[in-house]
Structure 1
Amino acid sequence: MPAPFSAATVAVRVPATSANLGPGYDSFGLALSCYDEVRARVSGAGLDVRVAGAGAGTLALDEGHLVVQAMRAAFDLLGAQPPGLALECANAIPHGRGMGSSAAAIVSGIELARGLSLDGRARLSEVEALALAAEIEGHPDNVAACLLGGLSIAWSSGGRGNGVRAASADQLAATGVRPVLFIPAEQSETKAARAVLPAQVPHADAAFNAGRAGLLVLALTSRPELLLAGTEDRLHQGYRAAGMPASAGLVRALRQRGVAAVFSGAGSSVLALATAEQAGPAAELAPPGWECAALTFSAGARTALL
């Protein structure tokens, strides 16, 4: 019986993502043009992990590495673990800044396992890959955007992986909206940012966000003049502001100037969805020590055999 693994090296490029986008808590995500590039091949034995760029010197180089964990989970679903693995990560997505670095690692691992397993993409479908990624990550917004690209909207209906499904729209460039990320030097922890959120919210706040979420989809796909209203939120950003005063202050300053700005995911980065006229002046508001990155919307994960 032939080995169930490819002899080729598999390369995956995965985009950074920004989740929530204001009102779309745990469901909306954008794929952005900042990428991690990861390669893997099946070896005779052992595990060799190498990391360059973001996380070099701090990430685990063993079975604790998140890409490896995701690969192992996917290989289990595919029915066999390889005898050995060699993994190389070239990371550009900052860690702990609300830019989806963990989602990128998880999606990388799953896509690598699908690519290295013979007929892996047929045996582990995109729907199943999304469900596994959401199960590992704990929420679907970033992983959906990373897999599908563009603007993604994820939802769940129960079952394995919470029955996660997602849809995406890729006609965003036609609106002329430009994503601008403001990235601080300090990291934040998603777990801590989620811990400050209340278990229940007022019905009026839930209704407010439902309306704004629908408005945001319209704004991003065809009516960019609605972005400022469409990015308003009452479910999470107000609760998180005290823990990220610099980020909250930047969001406030941008919005006072008419720029649709939100926390990027759980922070600490800030995402501005700016028009062409707003992008330059908005960049000038970056606090000292912060990086300002003018990006574009991106396609989802891409896999190639080398």
Structure 2
Amino acid sequence: MPTDATNLVVRSIAHTFAAVGREMPGLDLIARNAIPHGRGLGSSGAAIVSGVMAAKGLLDGEAELDADALLALATELEGHPDNVAPALFGGLTIAWVTEDGPQHKKLIVHRGVSPLVFVPEHTMSTALARSLQPASVPHEDAIFNVSRSALLVAALIQSPELLLAATEDKLHQSYRAAAMPETDMLVRLLRSHGHPAVVSGAGPSILVLGSNPAERLDAAELVAANAATRWQPLMLAVDIKGATVVPNPVRSPLSS
């Protein structure tokens, strides 16, 4: 990772300061990168939100940045609100763009939903993954995915037992399968055993949206027994708070 002004977190801080007409101070930045990079897990969106939120904290008392302003700044850097909106607000966040800029609606995920991510050692270029999709798709496939998108919202907030059907897809994963064959094989295997598995973002990681914690253990055992390479299982929780800023109190020389 770059350790100069080209670092994405630093660029996001600088962008926010410039947006409110303030000069960015000199900074000593320590970043704990908990999200694997290049795996389709939204690490760039999280880095951008980290920078924007850090700037919000540094500008406290000098400039007011509300939720809409934070989302707009993060979207300017990311290019779309899909990843930065949930990183900012938590929960199940639906994001869209209007003439007035990016918008969002936060919903509460059903407590039974238990996410599991399988992270491989290899990476995948997001640009390459997107380039594999055709410019146009069959009309019936578009209709299929629209219906599943609506069903997915209902499954995530009310009916987790519908997650397997709700995660069916005809617009993205099949076109990218040849570029990540093991991901494709494992997704098919998991789904054949009833696990709501999908490619995470542009891949190559796999996301399983279990309907209960026990289902995650079954999925992890299935992948461990059948994967040709090492996949790290991460059993995660749904964040409901979103991004927060916690001031670091200045310690006196006498502090222990």
The answer to whether the superposition gives a TM-score over 0.5 is yes
**Offset, 1:118:** 3.2
What does the per-residue CA deviation read over 1:4-26, in whole Å, with 9 as the maximum and x for residues that have no partner? xxxxxxxxxxxxxxxxxxxxxxx
Structure 2: how far apart are the matches of 1:281 and 1:89?
34
What residue number does 1:258 align with? 194
For 1:246, the aligned partner's letter is E
What residue number does 1:279 align with? 216
What residue number does 1:167 align with? 105
For 2:220, the aligned partner's letter is A
* Residue from 123, 129, 133 that aligns with 1:187: 123
Structure 2: how far apart are the matches of 1:226 and 1:141?
23
Distance of aligned partners of 1:193 and 1:158 in 2 relative to their CA distance in 1, 3 Å threshold: farther
Structure 1: how far apart are the matches of 2:60 and 2:156?
39
For 1:117, the aligned partner's letter is L
Structure 1: how far apart are the matches of 2:204 and 2:99?
31
**1:233 paired to 2:165:** no
Which structure's relative contact order is higher, taking Cα pairs within 8 Å and 6+ residues apart? Answer: 1
Report SS of the residue matched to 1:90. Answer: coil
What residue number does 1:104 align with? 46
* Residue from 141, 144, 147 that aligns with 1:205: 141
**Offset, 1:285:** 2.2
> In the comparison of the two structures, how many residue pairs are matched?
242
> Within 5 Å, which residues of 2 pair with 1:1-306?
59-119=1-61, 123-158=64-99, 163-173=101-111, 176-276=112-212, 277-286=214-223, 287=227, 288-299=229-240, 300-306=242-248
What residue number does 1:26 align with? none
8 A Cα contact 2:109 2:238, kept in partner: no
For 1:100, the aligned partner's letter is G
Report SS of the residue matched to 2:191. Answer: helix
For 1:169, the aligned partner's letter is L
For 2:14, the aligned partner's letter is R
8 A Cα contact 2:14 2:24, kept in partner: no
Unaligned residue ranges in structure 2 (runs of 5+): 249-256
Unaligned residue ranges in structure 1 (runs of 5+): 1-58
- Structure 1 ranges of 4+ moved more than 4 A: none
Structure 1: how far apart are the matches of 2:164 and 2:92?
17
8 A Cα contact 1:172 1:297, kept in partner: no
What does the per-residue CA deviation read over 1:90-135, in whole Å, with 9 as the maximum and x for residues that have no partner? 1111111111110111000001111101336x62221121122122
Identical aligned pairs, as a percentage? 48
**Offset, 1:191:** 1.4
For 2:108, the aligned partner's letter is D
Taking structure 2 as the reference length, what is the TM-score of the superposition? 0.90
For 2:27, the aligned partner's letter is L
Taking structure 1 as the reference length, what is the TM-score of the superposition? 0.76
Structure with bigger helix share is 2
**Offset, 1:203:** 2.1
Report SS of the residue matched to 1:267. Answer: coil
8 A Cα contact 2:94 2:104, kept in partner: yes
**Offset, 1:158:** 3.1
8 A Cα contact 1:250 1:285, kept in partner: no
Structure with bigger strand share is 1
For 1:274, the aligned partner's letter is G
What does the per-residue CA deviation read over 1:73-100, in whole Å, with 9 as the maximum and x for residues that have no partner? 1101111123312211111111111111
For 2:89, the aligned partner's letter is L
For 2:148, the aligned partner's letter is R
Structure 1: how far apart are the matches of 2:72 and 2:133?
25
